[in-house]
């Protein structure tokens, strides 16, 4: 009911204040975060009387279609949650307000954000968003299964991996993979064609980012996407990536993971909650989801250490951007500033849904989650490991399409990893010549 009241109130106030209505329209997609931001809006209006924030939430599936239609027809919201994969196109087409001057004028402390987050939302001196939150990747383990298999938490927290024999990671996965006769994959009697529980499930192909699927394995193996952000010269044909993908494919061949074609409809998360797989990689934005839906004992663990001697995780962050066609840019900037300030991010941290971007906030969020019985410290461990930013370049959607197709064919066993990657990288390079 709150949104409706807010919307109606702001609508009414909007009418009262006529043309220069101090109303900022804000949209986001994650309904889990809605209560936190509604609170921020209330606090914000208390500090800035005369400016009301009307928040709308629409799910991920339709979010971008609605936004694009808004851009084209001139009815887009004033402020919206933005995503790294989508913003290059918007920036290129001048749909985003450049915040760099405003940041300077109001002396916004840009070093208060976790390293890299502010920079990745800028290009060539222009700034397109203020950082909102960050996420890393970890693995979630079914601890009931771990206990029956005799795998200790210590073992899980200290796994190593390499693409040749899978390291201690594969040893653990083998113990957790059980066939229909009760034999696990560490024994000789294991029947890889009749598996009941898979020790590990690779979520899928992952497109150009492979955020939860393969990025951590590949980078801990020494893989690098591009030399720097926005550089069109990608390295998808790297043997380090090929080895990684070949390894993941072999997990399915050996019965440690479900075949790619069997695990794409409802996906790895559903398999995990159904007790069909023991370990799944996921991002910190899913913490609440697993907390509410899991009916067994589970634990978040850090990703394994790779051949480079480090754990690696993609370090991603959302930001709030202002639409260049907004009629309330001044008010919108005040709201964006507030969203990027400690006041609002504190509120978000206390709700324990995501890790806000300002340094130190994540610890608060984790404390809030611990108070609810969730141990998410693994994500912090990952944040302090080798973090890398998501690849970013122009024509991202098409690159994503191409790379996704190549990786799909590798995981389906239709193509040799190195061949497929070499072919697709040529096409990717052509897009941003």
Partner 1 sequence: MTLLNKLTPARIVAWVVLVLMLLVTVFPLVFVVKTSLVPASDLYTTSTDLLPRHATLIHYKKVLGMLSTEESIAAGGSGANFNISQSLINSILFTGIIVIAQTFNCALAAYAFARIPFRGSKVLFGSFVASMMVPGVVTMIPNFILIRDLGLLNSMAGMVAPFFLMHGFTVFFLRQFFLSLPKEIEEAACIDGAGPFVIFFKIALPLSWAPLMTIATLTTINMWNEFLWPFLIGKEASMHTLPVALQSFKSQTPQGQPDWSGLMAATVIATIPTVAMLFFFGRRIVESVQFTGGK
Partner 2 sequence: MMSVPHSTRTSPYAYLFILPALIGFLVFYAWPAARAVAISFTDWNLLSDSTFVGFDNYLEMFQDEQFLNGMKLSGYYVLLNIPLQTALGLFLAVAMDRLTKSIFVKATLLLPYLMSNVLVAMVWLWMLDPILGIINALVDTLGLSTQAYLGDPDQALVSVAAINIWRHMGLVAMLFLAGLQTIPRYLYEAAGLEGASEWQMFQKITLPLLRPVMVFVLVTSVTGSFQIFDTIAVTTSGGPLDSTRVIVYYIVQNAFSFYRMGYASAMSVTLCAAMLLYTLFQMHIMRASESDLA
Interacting residue ranges for partner 1, rule: CB under 8 A: 1-4, 7-8, 11, 29-32, 34-35, 56-62, 66, 69, 72-75, 203, 212, 266-267, 269-270, 273-275, 282-283, 285-286, 288-289, 292-293, 295
List for the chain the helix, strand, coil content (%; round to 5): 45, 15, 35
* Identified binder of partner 2 from the candidate list 15, 42, 266, 371, rule CB under 8 A: 266
* Identified binder of partner 2 from the candidate list 408, 420, 424, 425, rule CB under 8 A: 408
CB of residue 71 to partner 2, shortest distance in Å: 6
> Is-contact 226 235, C-beta < 8 A?
yes
* Identified binder of partner 2 from the candidate list 146, 258, 348, 374, rule CB under 8 A: 258
Angle, CA of 18, 20 and 21, to the nearest 5°: 65
Select from 73, 20, 105, 80 the least CA-distant residue to 327.
20
Q: Which does 66 bind (CB under 5 to 8 A by kind): partner 2, partner 1, none?
A: partner 1
Of 119-127, 164-172, 230-238, 264-272, the segment contacting partner 2 by CB under 8 A is 264-272
* Identified binder of partner 2 from the candidate list 33, 244, 409, 425, rule CB under 8 A: 409
> Is-contact 218 202, C-beta < 8 A?
no
User: Considering all CA atoms of the chain, what is the largest pairwise distance in Å, rounded to the nearest integer?
Assistant: 77
Our measurement of the distance from residue 110's CA atom to the centroid of its chain's CA atoms, rounded to an integer in Å, reads: 22
Non-local (6+) Cβ contacts of 31 within 8 A are: 57, 59
Q: Which does 263 bind (CB under 5 to 8 A by kind): partner 2, partner 1, none?
A: partner 2
d(CA 364, CA 343): 13
Tallying the residues shown for the chain, one arrives at: 433
Q: Which does 295 bind (CB under 5 to 8 A by kind): partner 1, partner 2, none?
A: partner 1
* 72 in contact with partner 2 (CB under 8 A): yes
CB of residue 292 to partner 1, shortest distance in Å: 6
End-to-end alpha carbon distance in the chain: 51
* 426 in contact with partner 2 (CB under 8 A): no
For residues 86 to 115, the per-residue mask of contacts with partner 2, x marking binding by CB under 8 A and - elsewhere, is ---xx--xxx--------------------
Q: Which does 224 bind (CB under 5 to 8 A by kind): partner 1, partner 2, none?
A: none
CB of residue 390 to partner 1, shortest distance in Å: 13
> Is-contact 4 48, C-beta < 8 A?
no
Six-digit token string for 114:
């976790």
- What number of helices (H) and strands (E) belong to the chain? 19, 15
CB atoms within 10 A of CB 156: 22
Q: How many residues bind partner 2 (CB under 8 A)?
A: 33
* Identified binder of partner 2 from the candidate list 276, 359, 423, 427, rule CB under 8 A: 276
DSSP secondary structure letter of residue 19:
T
CB of residue 404 to partner 1, shortest distance in Å: 14
Six-digit token string for 309:
């001697």
* Identified binder of partner 2 from the candidate list 32, 39, 68, 157, rule CB under 8 A: 68
Where in 263-334 does DSSP place strands (E)?
277-283, 298-301, 312-314, 316-322
User: In the complex, which residues of this chain contact partner 2 (CB under 8 A)?
Assistant: 64-65, 68, 71-72, 89-90, 93-95, 258-266, 270-271, 274, 276, 395, 397-398, 401, 404-405, 408-409, 412, 414
């Amino acid at each position: 009911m709150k949104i409706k009241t807010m919307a109606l109130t702001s609508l009414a106030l909007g009418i009262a204040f006529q043309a220069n209505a101090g109303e900022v329209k804000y949209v986001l997609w994650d309904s889990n975060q809605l209560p936190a931001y509604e609170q921020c809006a209330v606090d914000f209006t208390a500090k800035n009387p005369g400016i009301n924030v009307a928040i709308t939430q629409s799910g991920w599936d339709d979010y971008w279609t609605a936004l694009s239609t808004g851009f084209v027809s001139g009815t887009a919201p004033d402020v919206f949650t933005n995503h790294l994969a989508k913003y290059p196109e918007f920036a290129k087409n001048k749909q985003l307000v450049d915040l760099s001057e405003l940041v300077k004028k109001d002396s916004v402390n840009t070093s208060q954000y976790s390293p890299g987050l502010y920079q990745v939302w800028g290009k060539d001196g222009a700034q397109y968003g203020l950082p909102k939150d960050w996420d890393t990747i970890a693995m979630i383990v079914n601890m009931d299964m771990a206990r029956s298999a005799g795998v200790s938490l210590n073992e899980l927290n200290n796994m190593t991996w390499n693409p040749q024999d899978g390291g201690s990671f594969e040893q653990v996965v083998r113990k957790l993979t059980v066939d229909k006769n009760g034999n696990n994959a560490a024994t000789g009697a294991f029947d890889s064609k009749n598996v009941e529980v898979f020790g590990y499930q690779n979520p899928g192909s992952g497109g150009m980012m492979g955020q939860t699927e393969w990025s951590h394995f590949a980078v801990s193996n020494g893989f690098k996407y591009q030399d720097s952000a926005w550089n069109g010269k990608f390295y998808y044909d790297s043997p380090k990536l090929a080895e990684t993908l070949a390894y993941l494919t072999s997990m399915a061949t050996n019965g440690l993971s479900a075949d790619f074609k069997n695990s794409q409809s409802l996906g790895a998360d559903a398999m995990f909650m159904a007790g069909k797989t023991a370990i799944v990689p996921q991002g910190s934005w899913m913490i609440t989801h697993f907390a509410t839906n899991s009916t067994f004992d589970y634990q978040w663990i850090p990703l394994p250490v790779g051949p480079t001697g480090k754990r690696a995780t993609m370090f991603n962050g959302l930001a709030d951007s202002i639409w260049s066609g907004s009629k309330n840019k001044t008010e919108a900037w005040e709201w964006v500033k507030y969203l990027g300030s400690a006041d609002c991010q504190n509120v978000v941290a206390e709700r324990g849904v995501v890790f806000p971007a300002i340094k130190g906030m994540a610890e608060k969020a984790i404390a809030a989650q611990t108070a609810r019985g969730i141990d998410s410290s693994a994500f912090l461990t990952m944040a302090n490991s080798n973090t890398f930013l998501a690849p970013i370049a122009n024509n991202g959607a098409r690159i994503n399409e191409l790379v996704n197709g190549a990786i799909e064919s590798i995981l389906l066993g239709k193509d040799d990893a190195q061949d497929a990657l070499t072919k697709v990288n040529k096409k990717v390079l052509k897009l941003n010549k």
